[in-house]
Amino acid sequence: MKERESFVKNTIIITAILLWIKTYLVYKLSFNLPVSNWKQELILVINPLSSVLFTLAFIYFFPKRFHNRMTWIVALLFSILLYSNTLYYRFFNDFITVPVLFQTNNVGDIGHSLIAQTYWYDIFFFLDILLIGYLVKRGFLKAATYTKRDLTKFLIVATSVLVINLGLAESERPQLLTRTFDRELLVKNLGTYNFHLYDLLLQSKTTAQKALADNVDIVEVNEYVKENDVPVNEELFGIAKGKNVILISMESTQQFVVGEKVDGKEITPYLNDLIEESYYFDNFYHQTGQGKTSDSEFLLDNSLYPLPRGAVFQTHALNEFYATPEILKGEGYHNVVFHGNNKSFWNRDIMYNTLGYDDFISEAYYTITEDNQINYGLKDRPFFKQSMDHLNKMPQPFYARFITLTNHHPYKYTLDDQMINTFETGDPIVDRYPVTVRYTDEAIKEFIEGLKAEGLYEDSIIIIYGDHYGISERHNDAMAEVLGKEITPFENVQLQRVPLVIHIPGQGGKTISKVGGQIDLKPTILHLLGIKTEGIHFGTDLFSKEHKNVVVFRDRSVVTDKYVYTSDTCYDRKTGNEIPVESCEEARKYQMELDLSDSVIYGDLLRFSPYAKENE
């Protein structure tokens, strides 16, 4: 038998140990993966090892002269994957999925946010790669010659670790692999690398759903929608019939800023005044997933839930939908979106055509200079000002959505645009947040004044809503200081509330505390215009006296008028106190809407609907 190199001088073994240790340290330092007992800690320790060992085992099938090179490449790829997840987690408090990887055209446009999430000490993510390269080059590490018996032993160890890992994980969390919505739980129990393999399997499964779907699959969905639909509010049905619809998407704006002050100055002075003469919903929640702003648009136009992985705008842009723009087109409306950013961001140029929009006024239609842009495109004030020139040329009635940009992570601003002081928590993201919110508030004021000057105000209803959260859970300590209370799981759900203002000239002046979400906007808007909702929609009219008062989140949390269910815990919604989980049993039944909606999108079931576009 050929002489072997010393165990400690084997490149592959040393690389496996370094990757194992590094991954565990990243779990503890970069991700929020809390453990409550020794078993969970043990799972966290061992779960990176099996995937590292299995992957490195394949190196033995290459000729010996390639062993060191392949080992280094594998280590580099693992490190890049780990670091990419860290950057994504810092920004979104989530892990990368396969659909997200297909959103590469978004990367260039979120450069500022990526830079804000990059720190000098990130070099440590790659120190082991540099160390291995150095040791190999200096001859301290050499490739070993292994027999088939050695390889077998290597695979046995990897398999044993995997079996132990899965056994412990299943004992801690039964039916773990069915909880595909809880990526944090999957990573904590399976490990980052095994999670990505599992995600690939899920992607294969969902890809096949469309090919296997038929018209029978839509029957269950139709029956559920009919059983849970609610009657219209006769007093308000058709009150805005024939009027223009103007939607303003407030980027990253959470409800806690409404009515809040910094050093005695209001963060949203104009919005506060507008609320006094509008319908304001103070228990309205965003329901977005990984698609963020695009998910909020999808929810609003379709009354379907976003997907558990990736963004519908990216993954299913050629599906059949029965969206609000398509419906309004049949009523003589002209449909348009205004957005001072790249038209391909979130695949909007394709998806808008699918949804029935006639025009998309994107970056190319605006005059953008170094002075009037920040973060991701045109600042909000010049955006609205320049948009008015295009809006005046649109045929009426129109359905027009304006997507703001300035109040976007990492909340950069120029001193000339600052109208309010920052928070003083020591967290730069949280501290800058009120400044950019205040700027957007001023931009909306100028825009609505412009509508009045151009004679469009009286003939329009104006709907202003927050698209998704702005401050993630990573900043809970600073948020606790701002709000003056601990951010518990219950409070975190409350922080998912976003503003919703429905302004109908001559109407309103009322705050409505019903529980609602973005999925409810489609039926609400259509009913105000005097159009009854048809087809598949999971939301209900916010003005209906029988509105269901339920919000379901993509992580399967549920809010009702009485309870909040989140993180496997039930809370009394009024007091925030934890109560027996059985109390939330009725609320949890609404989680099935997520599964039904997913089946509609993955199976492209609306192509079997009588409302599908004729012969398309």
% pLDDT > 90, the chain? 60
Distance, CA of 326 to CA of 547 (rounded, Å):
25
508 or 518, greater pLDDT: 518
pLDDT score, position 275: 97
Nearest-5° Cα angle at 70, 64 to 75: 140
Lowest mean pLDDT among 182-191, 343-352, 563-572: 182-191
- Would you state the pLDDT for residue 171? 83
pLDDT of residue 376: 73
Structure tokens at 556: 């399967």
Question: Could you tell me the residue ranges of all domains in the chain?
Answer: 7-209, 243-542
Segment 90-107, tens digit of pLDDT: 877 778 877 777 665 555
Distance CA 43, CA 168 (A): 7
Catalytic residue list contains 293: yes
Of 53-67, 411-425, 431-445, 545-559, minimum mean pLDDT range: 53-67
Is the CB of residue 330 less than 8 Å from the CB of residue 363? no
Please give the pLDDT value at position 481: 96
Could you tell me the pLDDT band of residue 186, with boundaries at 50, 70 and 90?
confident
Catalytic pick from 293, 436, 533, 566? 293
- Residues 429-469 have pLDDT tens digits of 999 999 999 999 999 999 999 999 999 999 999 999 999 99
Counting residues of the chain whose pLDDT is more than 70, the rounded percentage is: 92
| CA–CA separation, 225 and 609 (whole Å) | 13
- According to the model, what pLDDT value does residue 378 have? 93
- Which amino acid would we find at residue 450? G
* pTM summary value: 0.81
Architecture of 243-542 per CATH?
A: 3-Layer(aba) Sandwich (3.40)
**For residues 169 and 329, which has the higher predicted lDDT (pLDDT)?**
329
Interacting residues of 564 by C-beta distance below 8 A, sequence separation 6+: 490, 493, 494, 557, 558, 570, 571, 572, 573, 576
Rounded to an integer, the average pLDDT of 356-375 is 92
CA 422 – CA 436 distance, rounded (Å): 10
Q: How far apart are CA 383 and CA 404, in angstroms?
A: 8
To the nearest 10 degrees (0 to 180), the angle between helices 67-92 and 11-29 is 0
Selected residue with higher pLDDT from 358 and 377: 358
Q: How confident is the model at residue 540 (pLDDT cuts 50, 70, 90)?
A: very high
Decide if pLDDT at 276 tops 60: yes
Nearest to 207 by CA among 115, 121, 316: 316
pLDDT at residue 377 greater than cutoff 50: yes
Q: Contact 331/531 with Cβ under 8 angstroms?
A: yes
- pLDDT at residue 84 is higher than 80: yes
Average pLDDT taken over every residue of the chain: 89
pLDDT given for residue 429 in this prediction: 94
Q: Residue 7: pLDDT above 50?
A: no
